[in-house]
Structure 1
Amino acid sequence: MAKATPKSTKKRKKTPANNTIKFIKGFWILFGSGIFLVILLFLFASWGVFGEMPTFEDLENPQNDLATQIISSDGVQIGTFFDENRTPVNYNDLPEHLVNALVATEDARYYSHSGIDGRGTVRAFVFLGTKGGASTISQQLAKQLFTGGSRNIWERITQKLKEWVIATRLERQYTKNEIIAMYLNKYDFLNQAIGISSASRIYFGKTLKDLKIEEAAVLVGMLKNSSLYNPLRRPELVRDRRNTVLGQMYKYGYIGEKEKNALQELPLQLEYSPEGHKDGTAQYFREYVRSWMANWVKENPKGENEEGDPEYYDIYRDGLRINVTIDSRMQKYAEAAVQEHMSNLQKEFDKQEKKNKTTPFRNITEAEKESILKRAIKSSARRKKMLSAGKSEKEINASFDIKTEMTIFSWKGDIDTIMTPRDSILYYKKFLRSGLMSMEPQTGHVKAWVGGVNYTHFQYDHVYQGARQVGSTFKPFVYATAIDQLKLSPCDTLPLSQITISAGSHGVTEDWTPKNSDGEYTGYLSLKSALAKSVNTISARLMDKIGPEPIARLATKMGVKSPITPVASIALGSVDLKLSEMVGAYSTFANQGIYTKPVTITSIEDKNGAILYQFVPETKDVISKEAAYVTINLMEGVTHSGSGVRLRTGASSRYDLKNVVTGHPYQFTNPIAGKTGTTQNQSDGWFMGIVPNLVTGVWVGADDRATHFQTTKFGQGATMALPIWGLYMKKCYTDKTLEVSTGAFPKPEELTIEVDCKVFRESNIQDENIDEFSM
């Protein structure tokens, strides 16, 4: 029997072939596991395991707060209301070089991937981001829209996974062009510049279509980090970043080498135009629009919520478009005219105040001065804030005598200083204020609105908030009523002699004998000369003939809503009216006796362009065409021989006032109707100026009526207000695109009242001792 061979205990040696097979098998298992893990992670991300993901509806309608735009009649955005100052634009609104700069710098293979750049991702992984990131434009948009920041590596990884998923979904949902537009609309460029449109306006003062290549490169460069690469903070760093963007544009063939080199040599040129609620143009008007819109949204709900309650538009988030009547060019000219004249006028006022012991007030006692201060303290924002904080009256009053840091207004720029709140009240009381409103009489469209000299420091609007005594600017209502009722001619004459209105007549409680400013009471004067020279006794005679009631009724029919007590003194303008009321009423004369209600907002659109509101003109016949034309003819005399004559001659010897108006040669030759007004103690100066297609009113005065010039030389309407009108109209006439009228006022076809005084005299022979209203 054969002997069994024992089994070998030696291990077999592994062959190289076996090792290779096992390595390959292990590699593919590991690789497959990695792929499976990545797929699983993507699935987990898409299922919301790592945090909530946007729904289909969210992707279809990403929620952005959109600023409400205020668009002028000439198509310029003059302001916004916003929580986020974002003005959305379409891809077609983006200049080609801006898109090219974006793609070249942020995502060179943008048009060839589907949301994730594989090559970029591998490069970023291998080199740990040292040779560029991997985020595509789609991923960056996904991060902005639907993901937030990360606090640790795990959150960063899961956030990146979510961005990848969302990016691919965005690519399926939107076109490449739409994604670019969404990304640029979403990005925050800081300084209230949210979105590319706002950034273009704020940093360069221009619309997107006017953006130059080098300017577009600056904004694209900011996309890397708008805080680090901010041109207001680090201009040199931003210039270097801009040049990097231009280099990328050259690298990918969007610009040539010669153009690149030339653009890189350019300095960084900004035109910073902040768009805060207190910045920019037409601030007073924009605040009026905000108030108007607050009432409108309450009366016009956009629908109902799930509970059945009304849902209202949000002017700060819903992206409305408010189309207004303001012309951005005329608004600019109006603001410039106010600034130019008021800065000069204030210099003269301050000069005269150096000798005034009760400055900034005149002709008052210390007790009266203290009373003014107490009223100012009582109505101050500081007191209201302290009351709401639970402070006692004693604590509040004491605080007004404690020095504190503050920034105060000056015509040379804001000043940082330390003073007591009480002293700051006195400081601000010395400043003269102004208001200007300009309107088309035929349409009622308000073209310019300047409510004050500086909105940041003086927010009270002297166009529609404040009613002030109108003085002689009320006299045209007296003359118009007399002409309408008595068919008077501008050539009719009245005696200059004094007239006494007895107590009990025309609302007078005691005998009233008005006086003329020049003390002249002998002879006769035509109505045209009487209005031109603003003769009080003749205005009083006209009022005595027709009574104050018809005059008050006429003013009310012409849009005046402020109360007018029908007493004899209204003949001299004792009533307090708003500048907006005066401009609207005077427009009736220019519009052939038809009152057109002033309008500021023509339409409102939602973010999709649907019309939510359309203005309907409101007009009514008030006086005959004849009476309106004759009144205009009377007021033309003011600019030919009365207080408005300087509009024809420049600074005449009579009105050449040093340091106030530096001899502006207005030298208007076209037909102009107008009326100046000066109130008691020179507290208010007015000028109402009319050309056939534009009526403009100007008021100048101080916050308190005790602050005023000592004499009429400086305190009259011809000095305080008229120069603003002249400067404004000079600028408007220089801009031929505005087509402000230089022609004659339209004459009614059937004019029965003679306005040519030469013809009138030849057809009405009379001796020297004529009776009132005799021909």
Structure 2
Amino acid sequence: MAKAKQKKSQSFLPFIKWFWILFGVGIFSAALIFLLASWGAFGEMPTFEHLENPSTNLATEIISSDGKTLGKFYLEDNRTDVSYNELPQNLIDALIASEDIRYYNHAGIDARGTLRAFVFLGRRGGASTITQQLARQLFVGVSSQNIIERIQQKAMEWVIATRLERSYTKEEIISMYLNIYDFGNNADGIRSAARIYFGKEPSNLKIEESAMLVGMLQNSSLFNPLRREELTKNKRDMVLGQLAKNDYISEAEKDSLQALEIDLNYNPESHREGLATYFRMYMQRNWLKKWVKENPKPDGEKYNIYLDGLKIYTTIDSRMQKNAEEAVEMHMKNLQAEFFHQNTPKRNPTAPFLDITNGAIDTIMRSAMRRSDRWRIMSGQGKSAEEIEKSFHEKTEMNVFDWNSDSYEKDTIMTPMDSIRYYKTFLRTAMMSMEPQTGHVKAWVGGVDYKHFQYDNVIQGARQAGSTFKPFVYAAAIDQLRYSPCDSLPDNQYCIEPLKHGNMEAWCPKNSDGKYSGKNRTLKNALANSINTVTAQLIDQVGPASVVNIAKNMGLGDNIPEVPSIALGTHDFGVYDMVGAYGTFANQGVYVKPVMVTRIEDKNGTVLYEYVPETKDVLSKDVAYAMVNLMEGVTQGGSGTRLRHTSAKENQVYKDVVTGYPYQLTNPIAGKTGTTQNQSDGWFMGMVPNLVTGVWVGGDDRSIHFKRLAYGQGASMALPIWALYMKKNYENEELGVSIEPFEEPEDLSINVDCTKVLEEFKEETDTEDDLDEDIGF
């Protein structure tokens, strides 16, 4: 019996021997695989420095003065990192419960989970820890389908995971993982995902919202709430189930949360959508481009605004920007409807053009064709001019702007040439608002819709200023001749002789209605009613050179011609420059160059740029205050009087010209309207003590305009946008927009109390029209 047992045990010796040999070989092979992986035999392994600073592309973030993200600049990755402290606890709980319940108890590899996955071949869940998933996202890449390569990748993943655990805390690994993940739809990282899918910061996510985003971590393409809402909801409910299973929430909470539908607040983040699109594009294409060129990194390389994760702190106030965009939308939609009504083929066969020949229209259209993107692209492809022009007369499917559609765009079929004419029918606008004491630009609207109208009329456009230039003439007269708003000049036809001030022939501007009262008018009355004869006398007395010098010192450029006709606004100016210049009046004579950026930081918070104000003393406090007093007359008894109307009866007259909004503004306001020849341009420059805002409205070409002055004057086209914007600002007291009077200088030496004098001219005051019919062409 003993011999039999001995013989039997000896027969098992080879098996035991081979078992230990195979076990040893397995252990050795596994060790060798990990050793080879750590040596980089299966692919380049990250260095210690690389682990400390993993290379992830970070979007540059544009931040408003009130701390809101206006937009981002990125090529592929719309990513802005957040710290662990900015993540809500419910998001962290959902991640741990569903992805790695033993996360805080392992060093990068979960042995129990790995053994389970090996025994059950992955049928009871995978074994990848959060740290391994981060390693895969950062350094390993997409898993291969080849079994050998998959083993090699897994080995690399394990080695990197253990190294990450030695380099970072558990909290840092969680934030890195959530920051690096691509949630789809340009939502790179948890911050973009929270903003895009729910319109909020990560810290404000609800439990069910966090559960949905965690569910997307398995496969954001598959669990896409925009395309597969039901599937995404089921996955969310599974995460909620894991939260309950692991005692993060109760069963009752789980049931109530699972009963909820997915409630998305989708906010796509792209360069052409969102708030302050025109401003953001100016920052990207102009301001930052120049800054990057002039401010290299310490090693001489240029900053990349699409990859380096810069934070651009701007002066824009997101609340005021929203108010500005809503005011533009509200008024321009109504104004455009009236413009379409007046420019039907029956009423105007050459619509939208007026008072020009068919030959001139053809020239405008062909010029627009050659400036178009289609022409540029096809020309770059080597197409001949004949081929390109032929394509402009072939019908094609396109998406065009449409005020009457819910999304303000519609699909249609037309020729590219017809689309050019179609877009010519839309009136354009520009608006900028600035704090005069600091130069901080608070709102910037370059057009009605950036997606379809990409020309920025704030900074790119320049149009005749009309009567909005007259205050610079008055400022020169008050500054140099010590006039006061109460001094008067005769309202008679006035001619400036040939060769005087450089003009080659006599210049005899007419008043808007072609009439002259023959009586004296105070400067305040004359400016309020845009009396051209008085303005002509003033520029004749001080000379065009003096007016140009003041205008230049107030930021209006260097190429203003020194001729008398500039007094009536014949020269072209942009809204950006005009707002900066008017800010001088509100800022007691000190010009402050408009500021858009206050600070730039790199991704680590290091300050790379801080702005230094650019200022210039131009006018004395007394002269500046006298000018403000003059322009207050525009809203007290001139073309801006409609800002004050409150009753339905008084307001009815304005309903007939599309501007029947009940403004009811009672606070001190200084301003000036402007209207150029044929109503081609409508302006309004409005000021309260701490906010200066300029608005321009007009056609893409000067031949596109209203036929009647009632609709085409600045008081009808531009002023309503200013008024609507200010009413919205005043509804939010947190904005702190002034309702107080302008500050009067101590020991004011210029008389501004014109009460007695104005009574003499009360009957002569024209409160309706601010016209510049003869602007010296």
Give the shorter-chain TM-score range: over 0.9
Partner of 2:625: 629
TM-score normalized with structure 1 length: 0.94
Pairing 1:140-179 to 2, within 5 Å after superposition? 140-149=133-142, 150-179=144-173
2-side partners of 1:511 and 1:638: how far apart? 30
1:345 pairs, out of 335, 345, 351, with 335
Q: SS state of the match for residue 456, structure 1?
A: coil
Partner of 1:110: 103
- 2:75 equivalent to 1:80: no
**Identical residues among aligned pairs (%):** 62
Q: SS state of the match for residue 501, structure 2?
A: coil
CA pair 562-372 structure 1, distance change in 2 beyond 3 A = farther
Q: Which deviates the most, 279-288 or 643-652?
A: 643-652
AA aligned to 1:554 is I
Partner of 2:448: 453
CA pair 184-80 structure 1, distance change in 2 beyond 3 A = same
Query: In the TM superposition, what is the alpha-carbon distance from 1:24 to its structure 2 partner?
Result: 4.3
2:320 pairs, out of 324, 330, 333, with 330
**Is residue 438–residue 448 contact of structure 1 (8 Å, CA) maintained in 2?**
yes
- 2:662 equivalent to 1:665: yes
2-side partners of 1:572 and 1:659: how far apart? 25
1:518 pairs, out of 513, 517, 521, with 513
2-side partners of 1:761 and 1:441: how far apart? 30
- 2:454 equivalent to 1:481: no
Pairing 1:307-456 to 2, within 5 Å after superposition? 310-354=300-344, 355-411=347-403, 412=405, 413-456=408-451
Query: In the TM superposition, what is the alpha-carbon distance from 1:20 to its structure 2 partner?
Result: 5.3
Q: Which deviates the most, 133-142 or 120-129?
A: 120-129
Partner of 1:252: 246
CA pair 653-253 structure 1, distance change in 2 beyond 3 A = closer
Query: In the TM superposition, what is the alpha-carbon distance from 1:653 to its structure 2 partner?
Result: 4.6
**Is residue 525–residue 758 contact of structure 2 (8 Å, CA) maintained in 1?**
no
Q: SS state of the match for residue 324, structure 2?
A: helix
Once the two structures are superposed, what CA deviation does each residue of 1:218-275 show, in whole Å capped at 9, x if it has no partner? 1111101000111111111111211111111111111222222222222211111111
2-side partners of 1:490 and 1:260: how far apart? 73
AA aligned to 1:198 is S
Query: In the TM superposition, what is the alpha-carbon distance from 1:562 to its structure 2 partner?
Result: 5.4
Pairing 1:18-37 to 2, within 5 Å after superposition? 18-19=10-11, 23-37=15-29
2-side partners of 1:654 and 1:458: how far apart? 33
Q: Which deviates the most, 497-506 or 342-351?
A: 497-506
Partner of 2:773: none
Partner of 1:758: 755
Pairing 1:614-763 to 2, within 5 Å after superposition? 614-650=610-646, 652-653=650-651, 655-658=653-656, 660-661=658-659, 663-758=660-755
Partner of 1:569: 565
**Is residue 347–residue 659 contact of structure 1 (8 Å, CA) maintained in 2?**
no
2-side partners of 1:339 and 1:497: how far apart? 42
**Is residue 469–residue 577 contact of structure 1 (8 Å, CA) maintained in 2?**
yes
**Is residue 403–residue 421 contact of structure 1 (8 Å, CA) maintained in 2?**
yes
Query: In the TM superposition, what is the alpha-carbon distance from 1:667 to its structure 2 partner?
Result: 0.6
**Is residue 496–residue 520 contact of structure 1 (8 Å, CA) maintained in 2?**
no
Query: In the TM superposition, what is the alpha-carbon distance from 1:282 to its structure 2 partner?
Result: 0.8
2-side partners of 1:172 and 1:417: how far apart? 59
2:271 pairs, out of 258, 272, 277, with 277
Query: In the TM superposition, what is the alpha-carbon distance from 1:510 to its structure 2 partner?
Result: 2.1
**Is residue 433–residue 694 contact of structure 2 (8 Å, CA) maintained in 1?**
yes
AA aligned to 1:94 is L
Partner of 1:98: 91
Q: SS state of the match for residue 589, structure 1?
A: helix
Q: Which deviates the most, 510-519 or 694-703?
A: 510-519
2:35 pairs, out of 43, 46, 66, with 43
**Is residue 639–residue 646 contact of structure 1 (8 Å, CA) maintained in 2?**
yes
2-side partners of 1:334 and 1:563: how far apart? 31
Q: Which deviates the most, 556-565 or 728-737?
A: 556-565
**Is residue 651–residue 662 contact of structure 2 (8 Å, CA) maintained in 1?**
no
**Is residue 655–residue 719 contact of structure 1 (8 Å, CA) maintained in 2?**
no
Query: In the TM superposition, what is the alpha-carbon distance from 1:520 to its structure 2 partner?
Result: 3.1
Q: SS state of the match for residue 443, structure 1?
A: coil
Q: SS state of the match for residue 616, structure 1?
A: coil
Query: In the TM superposition, what is the alpha-carbon distance from 1:191 to its structure 2 partner?
Result: 1.2
TM-score normalized with structure 2 length: 0.94
Partner of 2:491: 496
1:207 pairs, out of 197, 201, 208, with 201
**Is residue 463–residue 579 contact of structure 1 (8 Å, CA) maintained in 2?**
yes
Which has more radius of gyration? Answer: 1
AA aligned to 1:589 is F
CA pair 606-655 structure 1, distance change in 2 beyond 3 A = farther
**Is residue 316–residue 440 contact of structure 2 (8 Å, CA) maintained in 1?**
yes
Query: In the TM superposition, what is the alpha-carbon distance from 1:561 to its structure 2 partner?
Result: 1.2
2-side partners of 1:104 and 1:337: how far apart? 48
2-side partners of 1:376 and 1:281: how far apart? 28
Q: SS state of the match for residue 138, structure 1?
A: helix
CA pair 179-333 structure 1, distance change in 2 beyond 3 A = same
Query: In the TM superposition, what is the alpha-carbon distance from 1:659 to its structure 2 partner?
Result: 7.1
Query: In the TM superposition, what is the alpha-carbon distance from 1:277 to its structure 2 partner?
Result: 1.2
Q: SS state of the match for residue 598, structure 1?
A: coil
Q: Which deviates the most, 242-251 or 708-717?
A: 242-251
**Is residue 602–residue 614 contact of structure 1 (8 Å, CA) maintained in 2?**
yes
Total equivalences in the alignment: 748
Partner of 1:7: none
1-side partners of 2:252 and 2:524: how far apart? 71
Partner of 1:6: none
2-side partners of 1:585 and 1:696: how far apart? 11
AA aligned to 1:656 is Y
2-side partners of 1:562 and 1:283: how far apart? 29
Partner of 1:543: 539
Pairing 1:190-269 to 2, within 5 Å after superposition? 190-269=184-263
1-side partners of 2:662 and 2:123: how far apart? 67
- 2:527 equivalent to 1:534: no
Query: In the TM superposition, what is the alpha-carbon distance from 1:12 to its structure 2 partner?
Result: 7.9
Q: Give ranges in structure 2 of 5+ residues lacking alignment.
A: 765-777
Once the two structures are superposed, what CA deviation does each residue of 1:493-542 show, in whole Å capped at 9, x if it has no partner? 22221112222223322222211123331223221111111111111121
CA pair 655-518 structure 1, distance change in 2 beyond 3 A = farther
Query: In the TM superposition, what is the alpha-carbon distance from 1:695 to its structure 2 partner?
Result: 0.1
- 2:163 equivalent to 1:182: no
Q: SS state of the match for residue 655, structure 2?
A: coil
AA aligned to 1:516 is N
Q: SS state of the match for residue 171, structure 1?
A: helix
Once the two structures are superposed, what CA deviation does each residue of 1:573-611 show, in whole Å capped at 9, x if it has no partner? 111001111000000000000111111111111111111
AA aligned to 2:571 is V
1:585 pairs, out of 581, 585, 599, with 581
Partner of 1:89: 82
Once the two structures are superposed, what CA deviation does each residue of 1:666-714 show, in whole Å capped at 9, x if it has no partner? 1111100000000111111000000000000000011111111001110
2-side partners of 1:142 and 1:476: how far apart? 65
Query: In the TM superposition, what is the alpha-carbon distance from 1:425 to its structure 2 partner?
Result: 0.6
1-side partners of 2:243 and 2:513: how far apart? 76
